[in-house]
Every structure is written in structure tokens, then in C-alpha cells.
Amino acid sequence: MIPISLTAVEYLCMNMREIDQREIYGIRWHDNPLLLAREVVIASTYGKAAIATHNGKPCGIMGISPMWPGVWSVWSFGTDDWSKAVLELSRYGKKVLEPFVRVRGAHRVQCESRIDHHEAHRWLQAMGAKADGILQGYGRDGSDYLIFSWSKDYNVLFKTPKDARAEAGPGAS
């Protein structure tokens, strides 16, 4: 994982995989990758984020930003090489982001995900998130989104996929 830099975030935004573009720009006023990069850098200054690399190039980012006291928004996106960083990003969520928000009094962490971004839904659930429900017509094009959350009631904010499999017991996948 490398620290946030405008250059690395611009690279990610300019080379973002298509499903992430649909999801992210679907809840923005614009679809400008350079403007998005600046928004991501600003959001990371209020919270925490880092970038995963593959073969020396940025391929994924994960971060968390405050929404209001006690409630945080977690976000992640990447290039077509995102799958090569998913385990590293999962570990970052568990080892860095979870303690970061806990000491800041988080009682809820949430994430909105476009209804057709099934890969993201599987990852969020493997990380211990609960699907709270459908946000009907949430996207600027009228598309539905799902809202996922972690809360102190679950006694965990993030899990690695390995943690989730271990808790599920033998034979779980």
C-alpha cells in the first residue's frame, strides 16, 4: 500500500474499470475523472485512505471518510487490475481502517453500491457488511443502489474474507 497522492489517484480515476465508473459517477454531479480525483484526495484528508499497486502501478484504492459524528463512509474502486489488490485492500480495511474509526467513536460505517455491482456486494459481505436495503432511484439516472453497513452491534466493523470464512465454519465458501 502506498500513501495517497494526487498523481496516483488521477491515474486510478483515468483508468477506472467500467463497473466502478457506473457506480461512482451514478451518484455524482459530474463524470469528470480529474475532478473525482481531487474529491477523493480531499475526502482522504478528512479520513484515511491508501492505494494498492500491481507491477508498480496503482490498481485499487480504499478509504474511509466521516459523514457526521459516529458515522463513516467507506469506499473503494480500481482499475481492471483491482482483483489483484483485493486481498491487500481487505487487510488494509481490517488492520488500518477499522482501528482508525473505532478510536474516533464510530458506531456505523456504511457504503452505497449500485444494484448491478455484484462483485462489490460479494466483497462487502465477505468483509462483514450487512445489506440494509435498497435505495430506490438513488442514482442520477434513476438506478437503484444497495446500502451496506457495519455497526458496533455486530462487534466488528471489517473482516477479511479469511475471517468471514473461518466464522462460517467448515465447508463454507
Indicate whether 173 belongs to any domain: no
Domain total for the chain?
A: 1
Q: pTM score, two decimals?
A: 0.84
pLDDT category of residue 132 using cuts at 50, 70 and 90: very high
CATH code for position 60: 3.40.630.30
Owning domain of residue 66:
6-168
Which tens digit of pLDDT belongs to each residue from 86-129? 999 999 999 999 999 989 989 999 999 999 999 999 999 988 89
Q: Which of 7-11, 99-103, 135-139, 169-173 has the lowest mean pLDDT?
A: 169-173
pLDDT at 156 over 80: no
What is the DSSP secondary structure assignment for residue 15, as one 8-state letter?
A: T
